[in-house]
Chain A
Amino acid sequence: MGHKARIVEVLHRAETGPIMEEEKFERELIAPTVKELIKKYDIKYDDKVVVNSDDDMADRIFQAGLDLAEATGMFCQSTSRRIVWSREELLEGLRHAPAEVVMGAGVDAVTAKARVPDDDARVVVAGGAYGVPVPEDMYVPMSLSYLKEGVIDVVDNPSLESVYGYPVKAGSPWEVLAARREAELALQAANIAGRPGICLGCVELSATALGGLAGVSYGGYRPTDWLHAPIMSELKTNYEMLSIVTHSIRTGTLLEAYYNPIYGGYVGGGEGIAIAVVGGLILLNQCHPGHTYNTRPNHPFFNCDTTPEMIWAIGLGVQGLTRNTNLLVDTLVGPAGGPGTKTMLYENAAFVAATTVSGQSLMTSCHSSSGGATPRHASGLDSKICGEVTRAVRGMKRDEINEIVKQITPKYVDDLDKNPIGKPFEEVYDIDKVEPTPEWQGMYDEVKEELIQLGLPLDRLV
């Protein structure tokens, strides 16, 4: 069965798979299986390594991820049934996953291609505030702060706090209205920036299927934009998300599926995160069959994914997938730090350097300030550093980057538990000119120079 035609089978299995209680699925199936697989495949975190360069371990992680996907399947919350697949079916799904996809339209289009670790091929740079809540009047200037940066190929926008001054209620007509308002503002910003065809991540405001369906329609987001359909932690989908996936497939809209395992939860520490990333993205390909597959594991207390152990785990998971499949893998950096802090710039640099040399096809950034949860705490420079590092490190080797990242992480790890959320957008940018303040620009330039001194070739031209 073809890649996307599988959706009918997914919907069918969501209604006919084995029944299980949700709590048992996580506690009695996922958690013990992950533990067992860590032992079986001898996965061990060595805190002297931030970027894995052990190919054998990456391959073992891939096998462990496949085992996990086969053993647990995906849980459908709407039916309390597991959507399960045989190993052969999962492999068949991976074989036919798209290895290349065009994002955006016209001269603004970019192509994401499957990569491998240490690859010299360019990575698509996605930048934006990724759902950080903003008031309506700040939406366009904030979007423009990203659109203005030439290093950013794809933009993923903030979430609206209100629509025409009214609160946005999930699952109500307000969600429909808000999705449209978001599309209207996102397209307006893209047009102002002279990048009308740029691929836009969407729909930020889609707590249920209503936003996802209403936003991608005539006059709204376009099939060349990038519709998002997540699964819940751990390995859970529902009819809202499956409806968005179905909508994407039938409209021919680019689809990004994502899964964010929780560090220290049912999957445990770094080893379990790495397995969950692989297993989760394989299951995304199977159950949310789209084009690109993202992960952004979350630290439950710091709300970030930039601790050394998590960078190791995510890099390892990405390597497991990129060495063994053609999946278009991407990761989202979620720094604890926010705009106007050096912490965030270090976090972002370390994370994207590690994930880019691990073979990701797209780099998505960023969930600023405590993982994207602080209203108005995001700015264009947050993603610019990610884009610059991504462009700079392609072709570099993992062990080389490991040594550099090991010098960067000590610059921020002690700050992570201090909630270094920085300043809101209006305090780090001149909103009228959409330019960073001299203070924020100065800090950026300073850190950039430091990173060059540490060995990241941010000044390379080709």
Chain B
Amino acid sequence: MKQNPRLIDVLYRAETGPIMDEADFERGLLGPEIKKLAQKYDIRYTGEEIINCNDDLADRVFQAALDLAGEVGVFNQSTSRRILWSREEIENDLKSVPSVASLGNGEQQFLITSRKPDDRKSMSVLGGVVGIPFPEDMYLPLVLSFLKQGIFDSIDGPSLETAYGQPIKAGTGFEVLGAWREAELVQEALEAADQPGRAVSAVELAPTALGGLAGVTWGGYRPFDRHHVPMTSELKTNNDLLAIITHINNLGGVIGAYYNPIYGGHAGGGEGVAILAAAGLILSYQLTLGHTFCTRPTHPFLGCDTTREILWATSLATQALSRNSNLMTAALAGPAGGPGTKTIIYENAAFALMALSSGVSELLASHSAGGAVPRHGSGLDGRICVEIARTMQGITREEANHLLEKIVPLYESDLESKPIGKPFEEVYDLESVEPTAEWQGIYDQVRSELFELGLPLDHFDSAGSK
């Protein structure tokens, strides 16, 4: 049999698992289970650390996540059934999780590898705006603003607001057209940057399976690109997403699964987010048979993942997984700040230090301005993340935590003021695809500040790095 038997098993369980109301799944099952596990494993957020430095706590979170995954499974919204695996099956499958993935082609091919906390191994960095809406005529310069820096391992584009001037309606021929238009534009950008083999993320515009299937085909996105498959909050999938999973498995593509628990929702606070994020990524592997597993817990009011408590929860979840499995975890920086603000650079720097020291295999940068404000993203937004990743490999959690104690106070009081900054066209010259003098000046100023705080950014040499 050519097909992965586990995929068929997933599809089978998605149609035969126990039936439950969606509301009951979250309220009656998930919420109470997380509370119970936080107590059982004594997982408590004390506010003493921003990055967790306690190995025992990380291991307890891993056990709690295994319990949660085995207890609740994934809810299939299309069949109202739970897709269940026993804890034994989950542990057994985790043993064969891929610990390395190859993305890109030719000169731009690179590897993502499994890492451990405090690891000296390199962390990959993806640059892009990860689906922030952009108009068609701004797609090319925006993507080029990342590509032309030559420092990112892979690229993630924006979502198109229209395709050939037409609004894109989900589940229609326009979604097919939109997916294609996106693939067409990103390849135009790769050609313009002379980086044809650079891995890009597919498909940003796939509200149903149509976009996900139509974009990855002859002449469109390629198997060596990264293929996104989300799980809906909390722990939910549907037949559209399962169809995309099947398609990418069929063509042998690299799956970048992601799951973003909501802080303060059914997960509760930081303790619950940590357990849920770890369980969600374990279940993402069970569900997608994928390669990298990204999380980006979301603050419901601030739209970011850079508060002290969420940073702590994310560090704890990724450490739990990286200490106890070979799962290649990824984390998406979601700053509240946007282009043209100091806030975003501080936030992204803090997030990068957390990810690097916690054993994350890949950092995605960034969901600027919370990721939801049209045109609020720029190439310079993610640069600080690369500079940190390349100059501070091997930094320990204690060292990183010490730095965050200095960095987080620089931005946390701004988070509530929605510091979304300026749209792309006001921080970049669209013709030359260069940051404005003002935006570059702000960046350089913050970089100097960070250097003064102890980050050895002067060692960063981007020339020929990618």
Contact = CB atoms under 8 A, between A and B. Distances in A.
Contacts of A181: 3
A173 B216 CA distance: 16
B173 A239 contact: yes
Contact of A176 (B78, B219, B246): B246
A176 B250 contact: yes
Given A171-B239, A181-B3, A214-B243, A251 B174 contact: no
Interface in B186-241: 209-210, 213-214, 216-220, 222-223, 239
B177 A8 contact: yes
B251 A218 contact: yes
A252 B223 CA distance: 18
A15 B169 contact: yes
Most buried by A among B11, B175, B220: B11
Interface stretch (A240-248, A291-299, A330-338, A449-457): A240-248
B217 A218 contact: yes
Most buried by A among B171, B177, B223, B251: B177
Contact of B180 (A173, A177, A184, A250): A250
A251 B220 contact: yes
B213 A214 contact: yes
B247 A7 contact: no
Contacts of A213: 176, 209-210, 213-214, 217, 247
B214 to A, nearest CB: 5
Contact of B243 (A8, A11, A173, A245): A173
Contacts of A242: 172-173
Contacts of A217: 213, 216-218, 247, 250-251
Contacts of A177: 3, 7-8, 11, 246, 250
A220 B3 CA distance: 13
A247 B209 CA distance: 13
Contacts of B242: 172-173
Given A242-B173, A246-B173, A220 B213 contact: no
B1 A247 contact: no
A214 B173 CA distance: 15
Interface in B42-89: 78
A218 B213 contact: no
Interface string B1-44: 11100011001101100000000000000000000000000000
Interface string B96-121: 00000000000000000000000000
B218 A239 contact: no
Given A8-B164, A172-B239, A180-B250, A222 B218 contact: yes
B243 A239 contact: no
Interface string A163-177: 010100101111111
B465 to A, nearest CB: 30
Contact of B251 (A219, A245, A247): A219
Given A176-B213, A245-B173, A219 B166 contact: no
A218 B176 contact: no
Contacts of A74: none
B11 A219 contact: no
B250 A253 contact: no
Interface string A372-406: 00000000000000000000000000000000000
| CB-CB nearest 8 A-B residue pairs | A213-B213, A173-B242, A242-B173, A250-B180, A217-B217, A246-B176, A176-B246, A180-B250
Interface of B: 1-3, 7-8, 11-12, 14-15, 78, 164, 166, 169, 171-177, 180, 209-210, 213-214, 216-220, 222-223, 239, 242-243, 245-247, 250-253
Given A172-B243, A213-B247, A247-B176, 19 more contacts: A7-B173, A7-B177, A8-B166, A164-B1, A172-B78, A173-B243, A177-B250, A184-B2, A209-B176, A217-B247, A217-B250, A218-B251, A239-B171, A243-B175, A243-B214, A246-B173, A250-B219, A252-B218, A252-B219
19 contacts: A11-B172, A11-B174, A11-B177, A172-B15, A175-B243, A177-B7, A213-B176, A214-B247, A217-B216, A218-B217, A218-B251, A218-B253, A223-B218, A239-B173, A243-B175, A246-B214, A247-B217, A251-B219, A252-B218
